[in-house]
């Protein structure tokens, strides 16, 4: 009941930026436009969803959806145990949306991860640099059009030879 009331209230307040509300396996999913994510999450946080359990992204290349990418926020209300999933859609030509680091400090590294692997940028993030791939890595490998075996980056290393004993032929026996 709490969740339904909240959804109704938020849908009325942001009627032009809420795209859809769906339910999957008992979890309510709120589909919204990317540019208004900070305002919507600010309201949800003040209404009891104090905890950002997870922040990740999905590439909807062949799955359909409102836009190519969706950034997914998993919220948890510690007061009554309710959970809510917010999906914020960003277009392919300009994958950019506001950062929620000002609401939850934990979004700092998770938004860096989304930036590193999907190439989605976050406005207002204090330090938006790669977190998992090497700093000089090119591309965003979790996009569905990135080849699984990469673009030759795993073959691009100098070969370290033996300093002594090169003639032993240790591999013979």
Partner 1 sequence: MDRREIKSNFLTTTVESAVNWARKNSLWPMPFGTACCGVELMAVLAARSDIARFGAEAIRFSPRQSDLLIVAGRITIKMMPVLQRIYQQMPEPKWVISMGACASSGGVFDTYSVIQGIDQFIPVDIYIPGCPPRPEGILDGLIKLQKLIEKEKFSDYSLPNSS
Each as own residue / partner, the long-range contacts of residues 5-8 (CB below 8 Å, 24 or more positions apart, any chain) are 6/44, 6/47, 6/48, 6/84
**What is the smallest separation between the CB atom of 137 and partner 1, expressed in angstroms?**
8
Distance CA 99, CA 37 (A): 8
**What is the smallest separation between the CB atom of 108 and partner 1, expressed in angstroms?**
20
Residue 123, exposed/middle/buried by CB under 10 A (0-12, 13-18, 19+)? exposed
**What is the smallest separation between the CB atom of 31 and partner 1, expressed in angstroms?**
30
Nearer to partner 1, 62 or 161 (CB): 161
CB 49 within 8 A of CB 32: no
Given the rule CB under 8 A, which residues bind partner 1?
Answer: 132-134, 137, 141, 146-151, 153-155, 157-168, 170-171, 173
Nearer to partner 1, 2 or 137 (CB): 137
Nearer to partner 1, 1 or 164 (CB): 164
């Amino acid at each position: 009941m709490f969740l339904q009331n909240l959804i109704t209230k938020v849908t009325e307040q942001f009627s032009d930026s809420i795209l859809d509300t769906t339910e999957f396996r008992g979890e309510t999913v709120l589909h919204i436009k990317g540019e208004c994510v900070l305002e919507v999450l600010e309201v949800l946080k003040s209404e009891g969803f104090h905890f950002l359990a997870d922040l990740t992204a999905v590439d909807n290349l062949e799955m359909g959806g409102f836009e190519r990418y969706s950034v997914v926020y998993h919220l948890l209300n510690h007061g009554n145990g309710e959970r809510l999933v917010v999906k914020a859609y960003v277009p392919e030509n300009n994958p950019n949306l506001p950062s929620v680091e000002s609401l939850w400090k934990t979004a700092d590294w998770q938004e860096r991860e989304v930036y590193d692997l999907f190439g989605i940028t976050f406005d207002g993030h204090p330090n938006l640099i790669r977190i998992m791939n090497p700093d000089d890595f090119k591309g965003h490998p979790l996009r569905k059009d990135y080849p699984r075996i990469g673009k030759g980056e795993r073959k691009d290393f100098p070969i370290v030879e033996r300093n002594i004993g090169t003639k032993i032929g240790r591999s013979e026996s």
